Amino acid sequence: MNILQKRTAFIVMAAFLLAFVFSIVSLSHYKGEEHLFSIQESHQLKKITSGISAPDNHSRDHRLPSVNGPTSPSNSGEHVTPFHNLSMDNGAGSQGANKDYETPLALYTVGFFIAAAFVYGLVKKKKWHHSIGHSRVILWSLLGTGLFIRIALIPWVGSHMDASLFKNWASVAANHFSNFYAKSGSDYPPFYIYILLIVGKVGSLPDFQQYFSLLIKIPPILADVVTSYLLYRLARKYLAPSFAYLLAMGYLFNPAILVNSTFWGQVDSFFTLLIVLAIVMITEKRIYASAVIFTAAVLMKPQAIIILPILLFELIRLKQLKHFFGIAFTAAFTAGVILLPFSAGKSPTWIIDLFSSTIGEYPYASVNAYNFFSLIGANYKDSSATLLFFSYHTWGLIFIVATTVFSWLIYIKGRSFKYAALAALIQISGVFTFSSSMHERYLFPAAALALLAYIYLKDKNLLYLSLGFSISIFMNTFFVLYGDSNMQNSTSYPFSMFATSMLNVLLVVYLVKVAWNLVQKSTVLKTA
């Protein structure tokens, strides 16, 4: 190690130790949180929420950690059952969100993006030191710091109602795994139920029972760390090691990532990890591994279908028929393995029925997604309503086709698997911004995919896009989680919706320009 590397290692090790001590102190003061829905209530909640259009924003679960720190559960014996917005993808709003940490999170976010702009300025002016080589001490200290800061925060920021539903599903999975759907009333696809099975088994152990609510957030938090590690490994392969650290840190400490897994307790981080892995497998020419991961992703969240065409693009690029049959068999076999434990006594098409039911629950132009339809005032408007000549739903389908055709054109003109991440970014951002029935968190993978595309294509505009998408992801998540009181689950039109929706539209237009310029440049170089 040189002197600079030793100093850097000392600083990050000190940060790691502080984060570790903070997590131990935080957990030692945590007394547990009792907020678990019964199976009967889960069934009832699903029926009630399927018809809700505008909930009472004042009905919230206040039995959460206060600003003074983690608290013990209520001793009143009262079972809190707020009947609002309990489907995992419905734009749940502030139901159960602990607003005590709304302002600190906002201040951290402002500080993070100012720091990111400052560091980028140093890199651009070539004042950033590139003599920091690869060091396992620095890498693992950084990753450990990100992990333990998240663990330390969990008891303080409390649990959103969605996390309570995950907790219920974890308990059912641990006790009735093969009969999960009949017992839980869940409409969630089956892959993540395997993760909840593990959480439920661990949470049922005597030593871990009081930490059950915290354990629910551990899988997405670990996914944050693993995704950061993957970005570092890939960046180190294609970029300078010091810049690889910056990209990994930029993702790990990104408030758009932090608010989703640690504050809300959602699992989009885990889903994003699968998407990143699937794209990386394509770039590593391991298309069968990519097919396995894509299948798991689709069976975790249906929106993985948005990015699935990238695998088809690569198959067409390879021009080998045997791969089409091989991938089809691999995907079918993987799906069979995942679905088999849940399939006893069910129709052969039960998973299709499940997906259809989930997708059809919210027939709106936008479901709190800050996108084009929200920009024109169509949040929570019926998707069958007419806009110009077609319904919102039809316009959404037209935009999906147009987005997929454009990403296909970029992939083919690029003539390289290195364009897989860029094409995936076009898919997820284009469909989110211009399609109907989008939820506020569907754009989440864009932050990682933009960084991944930068690593492979080394175009600074992709860094700008990653920063821009991070801002829009955070704003959409933050304002829905902490509740623009006049907006959530309604057709109201607050300024935050206008500003972020406009930002997303501009980002996609900019992305189209950047992608087209990249393939044009690539074509010129290859024909020169």
Q: What is the mean pLDDT of residues 109-117?
A: 91
Check if the beta carbon of residue 117 is closer than 8 Å to that of residue 110: no
How far apart CA 424 and CA 420 sit, in angstroms, is: 6
Binned at pLDDT 50, 70 and 90, residue 185 comes out as: confident
DSSP per-residue string spanning 195-248: HHHHHHHHHTSGGGGGGHHHHTTHHHHHHHHHHHHHHHHHHHHHS-HHHHHHHH
Beta carbons within 8 Å of 396's beta carbon, 6+ residues apart: 365, 373, 383, 434, 435, 436, 437
pLDDT in tens, 219-269: 999 999 999 999 999 999 998 877 888 999 999 999 999 999 999 999 999
pLDDT in tens, 324-382: 999 999 999 999 999 999 998 888 889 998 888 877 777 899 999 999 999 999 999 99
Beta carbons within 8 Å of 286's beta carbon, 6+ residues apart: none
| DSSP element (H, E) containing 464 | helix 460-481
Share of the chain above pLDDT 90, in %: 57
How far apart CA 406 and CA 411 sit, in angstroms, is: 9
The structure's pTM equals 0.86
How far apart CA 297 and CA 519 sit, in angstroms, is: 28
Check if the beta carbon of residue 425 is closer than 8 Å to that of residue 403: no
Share of the chain above pLDDT 70, in %: 82
Q: What is the mean pLDDT of residues 497-509?
A: 96
Report the range of poorest mean pLDDT among 89-93, 144-148, 180-184, 277-281.
89-93
Report the range of poorest mean pLDDT among 134-138, 184-188, 423-427.
134-138
Q: What is the mean pLDDT of residues 187-208?
A: 93
How far apart CA 233 and CA 245 sit, in angstroms, is: 9
Q: Tell whether the torsion through CA atoms of 267, 269, 272 and 273 is positive or negative.
A: negative
Query: Strand 390-391 vs strand 386-387: parallel, antiparallel, or unpaired?
Result: antiparallel
How far apart CA 199 and CA 260 sit, in angstroms, is: 19
